[in-house]
């Protein structure tokens, strides 16, 4: 992966270390320099965590994503940023797809409902669909995380091989010039 491109958008270690909100929650755990490393393991791990947490239907998904990134020592900003795959615009179609998939897997009929963001709706409607909804979210989250993490590992490896080949080509070109 193009590390220079990604590094342009990454905060420096001092910014994260001195962030008061993150320090309240995670304290000295943020002092690990590995949380900002850009290597194949840390970035692909961040994709696993961020994409899985994006499909977990809970508020403040960034906090558990940050906790998992710290626990598994993966790239913290990428883990947190990928949670925003499910944002207010993408959440309705994503979660509806998860519900339909869960209902299909459990062989339960789809229930017609009118979404309303209120405690009453959550306690009545969500109580009727929670099993297929959570099953669908879990499966889609796992599949999305696996596809994202494995894709990053593959793309990173292909980029490294391409750079090796380019270096070898330049060396061979220099050898050819020196021999003449």
Q: Which residues contact 37 (CB under 8 A, 6 or more apart)?
A: 75
**Domain positions in the chain:** 3-108+117-179
The CB-based long-range contact list for 103-112 (8 Å cut-off, 24+ gap) reads: 103/129, 103/132, 103/136, 105/132, 105/135, 105/136, 105/139, 106/131, 106/132, 106/135, 108/132
Residue reference for tokens 């709706």: 121
The per-residue pLDDT for 117 is 59
Exposure of 121 in the CB half-sphere (CA atoms within 13 A): 6
User: Are the C-beta atoms of residues 92 and 115 closer than 8 Å to each other?
Assistant: yes
Instruction: Return the structure tokens found at 44.
Output: 């692909």
User: Are the C-beta atoms of residues 43 and 73 closer than 8 Å to each other?
Assistant: no
pLDDT in tens, 1-40: 466 666 666 666 677 777 777 777 777 777 777 777 788 8
* pLDDT by 10s per residue, the chain, length 180: 466 666 666 666 677 777 777 777 777 777 777 777 788 899 999 999 999 999 998 888 999 999 999 999 899 889 999 999 998 888 888 988 999 999 999 998 888 777 665 677 667 777 778 899 899 999 999 999 999 999 999 999 999 999 999 999 998 888 877 776
Q: Which residues contact 76 (CB under 8 A, 6 or more apart)?
A: 16, 30, 35, 36, 46, 66, 69, 70
């Amino acid at each position: 992966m193009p590390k220079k491109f990604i590094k342009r958008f990454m905060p420096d270690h001092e910014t994260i270390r001195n962030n008061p909100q993150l320090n309240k929650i995670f304290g000295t755990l943020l002092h690990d320099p590995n949380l900002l490393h850009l290597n194949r393991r840390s970035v692909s791990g961040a994709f696993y965590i961020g994409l899985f947490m994006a499909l977990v239907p809970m508020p403040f998904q960034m906090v558990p994503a940050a906790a998992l990134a710290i626990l598994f020592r993966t790239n913290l900003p990428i883990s947190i940023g990928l949670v925003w795959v499910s944002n207010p615009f993408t959440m309705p179609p994503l979660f509806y797809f998860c519900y339909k998939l869960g209902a299909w897997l459990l062989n339960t009929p789809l229930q017609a409902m009118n979404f309303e963001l209120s405690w009453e709706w959550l306690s009545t409607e969500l109580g009727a669909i929670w099993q297929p909804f959570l099953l669908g979210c879990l499966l889609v989250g796992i599949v999305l995380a696996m596809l994202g993490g494995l894709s990053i590992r593959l793309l990173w490896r292909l980029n490294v091989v391409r750079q090796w080949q380019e270096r070898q080509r330049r060396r061979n070109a220099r050898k050819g010039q020196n021999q003449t």
